Amino acid sequence: MAFGTDLLIGFYARRRNFIHAVQEVVEQLTTFSLSLKIVYTFLWDSILVEIFERGLDKVDFALNKKSSQHASAQVPLSQFMKINLI
C-alpha cells in the first residue's frame, strides 16, 4: 500500500462508525434539521450521548481540512459562527 493509506482507511472507518452513532441518537427527533445532522458528524468527541441544548451547552468541533472543504458543512458552521453558537 502507498504511504499513509492505512491511516486514511482507519480514519474513515472510525468516521463511518461515528456517523452511524449520530444517526441513532438524532433519528429519535423528528424536527432535527439536515444542517445540524451534518454539524454533529464533526464533533470533537467521538461518542454522542445526548442532543445539545442551544445556548446552554458548549460544543467542540474537530474541524479538519476535509470538513472545511465540505460544502454542506461550511454553510451551517458559518451560520452558527455568525450567531455566536460556536
Q: Let me know how long the chain is.
A: 86
Instruction: Report pLDDT for 20.
Output: 73
pLDDT tens string, the chain, 86 residues long: the values are: 556 677 767 777 777 777 777 777 666 555 556 666 666 667 776 666 677 777 777 777 776 655 556 666 667 767 777 776 55
Q: Residue 3: which residues within 8 A CB-CB, separation 6 or more?
A: none
Instruction: Report pLDDT for 28.
Output: 59
Q: What cell does 1 get?
A: 500500500
Grid look-up 474537530 returns: 62
Single pTM value for the model: 0.38
**Domain locations along the chain:** 5-82
Instruction: Report pLDDT for 34.
Output: 67
Residue among 46, 38, 37 at smallest CA distance from 15: 46
